[in-house]
Chain A
Amino acid sequence: MNGDVLIKVIDLKKHYLGGKVKALDGINVEIQTGEVVVIIGPSGSVKSTLLRSLNLLEIPTGGSIIFEGVDICDPKQNINLHRQKMGMVFQHFNLFANMNIIDNMTIAPRKRLKKSKDEATEKAMELLKRVGLADRANDYPSQLSGGQKQRIAIVRALCMEPDVMLFDEPTSALDPEMVGEVLDVMKSLAKSGTTMIVVTHEMGFAKEVGNRVIFMDGGKIIEEGTPQEIFENPQSDRLKSFLAKVL
């Protein structure tokens, strides 16, 4: 193991059309256990591509991702075993439409972690209570509001007891009045010491909860630092003009 480093991204590249389009152009970053890292940047800066590369939903064309000491880009690795330890929350929730809430939450622990139905249900109900949705356990996703769906999506990922949580613009598809309830769940997660990597446009969240902020543009990391460094003392012109527009 690499001591405290949970994920180490080395010279990660994602090229299309034989290198003509460089979506990710040599990304180097380290994520430590317990850290909350927020990735910000303008649209098209491939923040999501970087996040989705971390659990290989996007397949990088170069470089490596060391997760818990193993290079998961190595084709010999069983990626499914690593993905189990990386919870992911999507912009569009992606709750399984053919299952009710409790099945959404228990199917992966049962099929992948071989938990008993009772054990998985108990854990799921406990998490549902934490996000105040225990009474919706038997409902189907189509019966829930966006904010409720996203809170369920977060606890569904937590049912697998992951070592890191990846958030891909979790509040971007929500009505404004529902953003708060989802951010609250994420804040309490951060407080409990969960390692989190969050792609978001919520600058308030980045400032308040982030331990570290990464600013990306054009497939590269332009600046990274503490929220104070990024928001109060930006170095690059690109970041300055970005913050001038969003703050």
Chain B
Amino acid sequence: MNDFFASVVDKFTRCFIAKSYWKMILQGFRDSLIITFFSIILGLLIGVILATIRTSYDKNEESLKIKGGIGYWSLKILNSLCKAYIAVIRGVPVVVQLLIWYFIILATQKNSIIVAVAAFGVNSGAYVAEIFRGGIMSVDVGQFEAGRSLGFNYVQTMIHIIIPQAFKTVLPTLLNEFIAVLKETSIAGYVGITDLTRAGAIIRAQTFEAFMPLIAVAIIYLVTVIVLTALFTRIERRLRNSER
């Protein structure tokens, strides 16, 4: 028994303490969080814009078609572009996308973190767009009609009535997507970033010890996701309270 503990302590020391590898884990974790945070922001931005275009087109197609003119055509083209974007993003593995950003689109960019944020953000945007579109479409069409019948224009109806209700329905799915982004960033090592996963891999290579670094990395991801989930549960509860 004593031998077992002694060997665990020894392994722990070699993996994290001896050469200050814990600092690398911490820095890797920080970079993972930075990439995740900005990717989520970028993804939300892209997603909301895309969802707005897609739903505006679906909801107004009939009336715009009758009106005709530039409004209809520009929205139709924008809508097609959004659909193409979503198709491409969903059809290409995120590792391949990351490498394309790194070696082709942003080949001159020296800061790999920026490359990663671009890749993960643009990737997430496509999914967030569909999440928001689903949320907007799940709001009863009667809510929309009631808004319009009172004289609200399309944008006012969306802002005051539809989006607040849609937001509540998309929260759980949105959390799913945020968690997915956090975990996707574990491939950032492919473009030379020492993120959390990569830090663990380096320790493993240096110490020939697989258990400690891998489990440590896994626990850090797990705890992060649990904290994120708790945060969202609170937001959800607060939103639900405001309605009752």
Interfacial residues, chain A to chain B (CB-CB below 8 A): 55-57, 59, 61, 75, 80-81, 83-84, 86-88, 90, 92-98, 107-108, 111-112, 140, 142-143, 153, 156-157, 160
Q: Mark B55-72, 1 if CB is under 8 A from A, else 0.
A: 000000011001110000
Q: With contacts A75-B68, A95-B146, A142-B244 known, what are 6 further pairs, Cβ within 8 A?
A: A57-B145, A59-B62, A80-B152, A94-B140, A98-B165, A98-B168
B164 within 8 A of A: yes
Report whether A94 and B142 are in contact in the complex, using a CB–CB cutoff of 8 Å: yes
Closest residue of B by beta carbon distance from A107? B160
Question: Is B143's CB within 8 Å of the partner chain A?
Answer: yes
Instruction: Give how many B residues have a beta carbon under 8 Å from the other chain's beta carbons.
Output: 25
B161 contacts A by Cβ under 8 Å? yes
How many interface contacts (CB-CB < 8 Å) are there between A and B? 75
Residues of B within 8 A of A55 (CB): 149
A153 contacts across to B, CB distance below 8 A: 146
Q: Are A75 and B152 in contact (CB under 8 A)?
A: no
Q: Which 7 A-B pairs have the closest CB atoms?
A: A84-B151, A94-B146, A88-B149, A108-B150, A94-B142, A75-B67, A98-B164
Expressed in whole angstroms, the minimum distance between the Cβ of A146 and any Cβ of chain B is: 14
Partner of B151, one of A57, A94, A97, A160: A160
Contact of A96 among B68, B146, B151, B244 (CB under 8 A): B146
A156–B146 Cα distance when bound, in Å, is 10
Structural contact, B150 and A84, CB atoms closer than 8 A:
yes
How far apart sit A87 and B151, CA to CA, in the bound complex (Å)?
A: 9
A228 CB to closest chain B CB (Å) equals: 33
- Which residues of A lie under 8 Å from residue B63 when comparing CB positions? 56, 59
A96–B145 CB distance below 8 A: no
Q: What are 17 A-B residue pairs whose CB atoms fall within 8 Å in the complex?
A: A59-B66, A75-B66, A80-B148, A80-B153, A83-B151, A86-B149, A90-B146, A92-B140, A97-B165, A98-B161, A98-B168, A108-B151, A111-B152, A143-B244, A156-B150, A157-B150, A160-B150
Residues on B with beta carbons closer than 8 Å to the beta carbon of A84: 150-151
- Provide the residues of chain B in CB contact with A90, threshold 8 Å: 142, 145-146, 149
Most buried by B among A56, A81, A98: A98
Q: Which chain A residues lie closer than 8 Å to B168 at the CB level?
A: 98
Q: Which of B143, B153, B156, B160 contacts A97 (CB 8 A)?
A: B143
What residues on B are CB-neighbors of A80 within 8 Å?
Answer: 148, 151-153
* Cβ of B243 under 8 Å from chain A: yes
**What separation, in Å, do the CA atoms of A59 and B153 have in the docked complex?**
16
Select one of B66, B142, B147, B150 contacting A92, CB under 8 A: B142
Contact: B62 with A83, CB < 8 Å?
no
State whether A83 and B161 are in contact (beta carbons under 8 Å apart), knowing that A59-B62, A96-B143 are contacts in the complex. no
Kindly state the separation between the CA atoms of A56 and B147 in the bound complex, as whole angstroms.
Answer: 13
